[in-house]
Amino acid sequence: MRSPPLVPGPGPLDLDHLDRMTLGDAVLEREVLALFSEQSRRLISTIAALPADASSLAHTLKGSARGIGAFAVAQAAARLEAAVRTGEDRPQALADLENAVADACRAIEDILARP
């Protein structure tokens, strides 16, 4: 078994990390990616209104993103989580999270479209 990289690879998804997390099971990988795509879009829609529980929702998204190797989403969610707590630059943090989720979802769509 290969050692994990010290720094996540470029792109919206670290496919090596995803492969390790799904134990190389391609069916499970596709299922997890579909679930993440659905969940992340639903959470972004809710978070966009910046409700009182936005920090908690961002935290949930951060954990899910780390699980599949969507590290840019996880980092953006962490920034929004902090911005909600401090009240600083929430619009920019939200925009960054929306962009990261969109990039990850496009990558997931490409993967799921493969035979």
Question: Cα–Cα distance between 86 and 40 in angstroms, integer?
Answer: 23
**Contacts with 17 (C-beta within 8 Å, 6 or more apart), sequence order:** 4, 8, 68, 69, 71
Nearest CA among 65, 82, 93 for reference residue 8: 65
Query: Tell me, what's the pLDDT at 3?
Result: 47
pLDDT tens readout for residues 31-85: 999 999 999 999 999 999 989 899 999 999 999 999 999 999 999 999 999 999 9
The tokens of 114 are what? 């493969």
Nearest CA among 115, 59, 110, 111 for reference residue 84: 59
Q: How many CB atoms lie under 10 A from the CB of residue 1?
A: 5
